[in-house]
Amino acid sequence: MNDGNIDLRDQLSIDTPELVGIELPLAGIGSRCVALLVDSVVQGVAMIALVIILLILIALLPHAPAALHANSSPASAKWAIALFIFVPFLIQWGYFSLFEAFWHGQTPGKRLLNLRVIQQSGRPIGLFESMSRNLIRIIDMLPGFYLVGALCIFANRRQQRLGDMVAGTLVVHSVPVQTPMLPQGTRTFTAPAVERPLQAIAPKIIDLPADAVARLSRDDLQLLENFLGRRLDLPIEVRARLAEKLSRHMEEKMRSQIPPGTSHETFLETLALGLREVGPANSR
Q: Lowest-confidence range among 10-24, 240-254, 255-269?
A: 10-24
Same domain, 23 and 101: yes
Residue 185 lies in a domain: no
How many other CB atoms are found less than 10 A from the CB of residue 283? 11
Give the type of residue at 218: R
Same domain, 169 and 196: no
Residue 216's pLDDT is what? 84
Last residue of a domain, one of 141, 173, 205: 173
Tell me the per-residue pLDDT of 36-50, one tens digit each, with 9 for 90 and over. Answer: 999 999 999 988 888
> What's the structural domain count of the chain?
2
Same domain, 162 and 22: yes
Give the type of residue at 229: G
Same domain, 196 and 131: no
Q: Lowest-confidence range among 43-52, 53-62, 103-112, 246-255?
A: 53-62
Alpha carbon 78 to its chain centroid, in Å, reads 41
Same domain, 239 and 158: no
Last residue of a domain, one of 144, 173, 202: 173
Residue 94 lies in a domain: yes
Nearest to 107 by CA among 98, 47, 169, 170: 98
- % the chain with pLDDT above 90: 26
Residue 189's pLDDT is what? 38
Per-residue pLDDT averaged across 145-150, rounded?
Answer: 91
Asked if residue 21 has pLDDT above 80, the reply is no
Asked if residue 262 has pLDDT above 50, the reply is yes
Alpha carbon 70 to its chain centroid, in Å, reads 47
Tell me the per-residue pLDDT of 90-129, one tens digit each, with 9 for 90 and over. Answer: 888 899 999 999 998 999 999 999 999 998 877 889 999 9
The pTM of this model reads 0.57
Same domain, 149 and 206: no
Last residue of a domain, one of 105, 139, 173: 173
Nearest to 204 by CA among 181, 187, 223: 187
Same domain, 27 and 168: yes
Q: Lowest-confidence range among 46-60, 73-87, 174-188?
A: 174-188
Residue 186 lies in a domain: no
Q: Domain range holding 31?
A: 3-173
Confidence category of residue 233, pLDDT binned at 50, 70, 90:
confident
Residue 283 lies in a domain: no
Residue 145 lies in a domain: yes
Same domain, 261 and 140: no
Residue 17's pLDDT is what? 53
Residue 238 lies in a domain: yes
Same domain, 105 and 221: no
